[in-house]
Structure 1
């Protein structure tokens, strides 16, 4: 019988280190928040691009979940342009 390892998130299963998994989780959360704002306001990709200070193809990449194309820094800047704010909290983690 083989034992199955359980993960807290898909990123924990996919990434090599806890740090890489945390980075991906953060980027995914920020991308979702931006995409939800775009949808909630009914913006076209061109309108969203203008508001976010990026090109329409960048908005397309964001809406299609191309997470590898966005840094945390870029996403924080886009959130601010969208009128959103990022709050960071730090918690005890499991030992690596």
Structure 2
């Protein structure tokens, strides 16, 4: 990663995955899960749902909704987060294609 000085402060450009930059194990999965969680939070807020209403709609108990809205999504799988989004009226598309590099990667794109 490139380093440069900005107003006398050394700044390092991130990789685009803050979890990898901080050395978290499973950084790619965390990036995808956090993107899904952010969309769920947006959807709940845009719809003006209470935590109880959101939980009923997503099929999860209110305490898990509370945790999710506070950024704690560790107790929910990628699959469950995607299920929550579909229950909130989102379509999810998964595209599989050959990678340019020997090892592929996963990307989350939100429209």
1:28 partnered with 2:34: yes
Q: TM-score, normalised by structure 2?
A: 0.69
Q: Does 1:73 align with 2:82?
A: no
The 3 A distance-change label for structure 1 pair 6 and 84 is: closer
In 2, the alpha carbon distance for the partners of 1:68 and 1:85 equals 23
For residues 30-65 of structure 1, the C-alpha deviation after alignment (integer angstroms, 9 at most, x for no partner) is 001111000001010011111111110010011011
Q: Which has the larger radius of gyration?
A: 2
Q: Distance in 2 between matches of 1:65 and 1:71?
A: 14
Stretches of structure 1 that go unaligned for 5 or more consecutive residues are none
Match of 2:84, SS?
Answer: helix
Q: Say which structure, 1 or 2, has more relative contact order (CA 8 Å, 6+ apart).
A: 1
Calculate the aligned-residue CA RMSD, in Å: 2.4
Larger % of helix: which? 1
* TM-score, normalised by the number of residues in structure 1: 0.78
Worse-superposed segment, 47-56 or 81-90: 81-90
* Structure whose residues are more often strand by fraction: 2
